Amino acid sequence: MATVTFENAQRWYPGADVPAVPGLDLEIRDGEFMVLVGPSGCGKSTSLRMLAGLEEVNAGKIYIGDREVTHTAPKDRDIAMVFQNYALYPHMSVAENMAFALKMAKVPADERQKRVEEAAQILGLTEYLERKPKALSGGQRQRVAMGRAIVRNPQVFCMDEPLSNLDAKMRVQTRTDIAKLQSDLGVTTVYVTHDQVEAMTMGDRVAVMKLGELQQVDTPLNLYDKPVNLFVAGFIGSPQMNLLEATAVDGQAKIGDYLVPVDPTASRKMRGNITVGVRPEAWRMVGENDGGLPVRVTVVEELGADAFVYGTSGVEGTPNNIIVRVSARDSVRKGETIHVTTDPRNVHVFDTDTGERLSD
């Protein structure tokens, strides 16, 4: 196990006008599960491949523990990579696939067998060791890829969107398995995904990236409760936060004729154009005459215990869709108009021009 440190690590692709990663500064603690998340093209996979030695580092440094590995060959970095496409050898059995790297490293046969059997026990693959990959499901193949990484006893696991080829149900199950496995093994893990739900459920900490730059690094709950800017606010959360354009008037956020209650800290900083963020679960329904924001319901997404109401508002400055989470027993119907409000502590306020958070 080891820490991982990026010191202003930079990657320029030949012929590009701007760097894919302009200068990453990030410290990953010993035994931590760190998730890099962001939209396509944000530099998360490039950053992981720089750590793995699969991409050149044009400037800056990368350390694993106290050892600088910036220009070290991939095979000498003591890392194990788990890819999106499994990368299993179709002509080899599960056991042979898992033992292949050890065989190349000239590990004795009895030691190879012992490590493979231990990893298979951990991953629930013991009964499949003699099968070929084509006889396995997608989730089982991914576990074989995990096993191949585990048997090497690396200092760091690098995982590049390992669940994106699985169906929705298998993805949920496998991400639980990976998180538990990492916790049991205690190996420092850097995990890349574009799925923010995956990031929130798996990571000890999550690093949100945009255009190669870190936006915020924090625990999943802190990212959700206190996003540092508009990008993080809109990216983290499913469904995403409602972001409404407003104007600061005498310490209040005004959307058309509707006043959004905001906390005193934000009200002292607000000037000109601002954006107000409200999570779907932070709205509460009120009566028509109680001063709430009117929302005309277009879709009700029933989830059993609760429901998501998607609607639009005729109030100027509101987005095309407003999302409200309600109890499934509130019997909201498509086509009707509901009125919603919220409490100041649930309102996130951002400067529209800079994207900076103004709330406490």
Give, in degrees to the nearest 5, the angle at Cα 56 between 52 and 60. 95
In sequence order, what are the residues at sequence separation of 6 or more whose Cβ sits closer than 8 angstroms to the Cβ of residue 198?
A: 35, 37, 163, 171, 175
Query: What's the rounded mean pLDDT across residues 245-272?
Result: 85
How many Cα neighbours within 13 Å face the side chain of 57?
Answer: 25
Query: What's the rounded mean pLDDT across residues 274-289?
Result: 91
pLDDT above 70 covers what percent of the chain? 99
Confidence grade of residue 105 (pLDDT, cut at 50, 70, 90):
confident
Cβ-contact 151, 101 below 8 angstroms:
yes
Query: What's the rounded mean pLDDT across residues 277-299?
Result: 90
- Burial (Cβ within 10 Å: 0-12, 13-18, ≥19) of residue 213: middle
Domains delineated in the chain: 4-230 (3.40.50.300), 241-351 (2.40.50.140)
Least confident of 101-110, 193-202, 221-230, 249-258: 249-258
Query: What's the rounded mean pLDDT across residues 11-34?
Result: 94
Confidence grade of residue 178 (pLDDT, cut at 50, 70, 90):
confident
Query: What's the rounded mean pLDDT across residues 312-337?
Result: 83
Q: What is the pLDDT of residues 125-164, one digit of tens each?
A: 999 999 999 999 888 888 898 899 889 889 999 999 988 8
Predicted confidence at residue 243, as pLDDT, reads: 92
Residue 73: is its pLDDT beyond 90? yes
Mean predicted lDDT score pLDDT of the chain? 90
Predicted confidence at residue 317, as pLDDT, reads: 64
Query: What's the rounded mean pLDDT across residues 196-207?
Result: 93
Predicted confidence at residue 84, as pLDDT, reads: 81
Predicted confidence at residue 196, as pLDDT, reads: 87
Confidence grade of residue 271 (pLDDT, cut at 50, 70, 90):
confident
Residue 260: is its pLDDT beyond 70? yes
What pTM, to 2 d.p., does this model score? 0.90
Beta strands at 188-193 and 156-160: parallel, antiparallel or unpaired: parallel
Residue 264: is its pLDDT beyond 70? yes
Confidence grade of residue 78 (pLDDT, cut at 50, 70, 90):
very high
Confidence grade of residue 320 (pLDDT, cut at 50, 70, 90):
low
- Among 53-57, 146-150, 174-178, 259-263, top mean pLDDT goes to 53-57
Beginning with the edge strand found earlier in the chain, give each strand of the sheet holding 258-260 in spatial order: 258-260, 252-255, 242-249, 273-278, 347-351
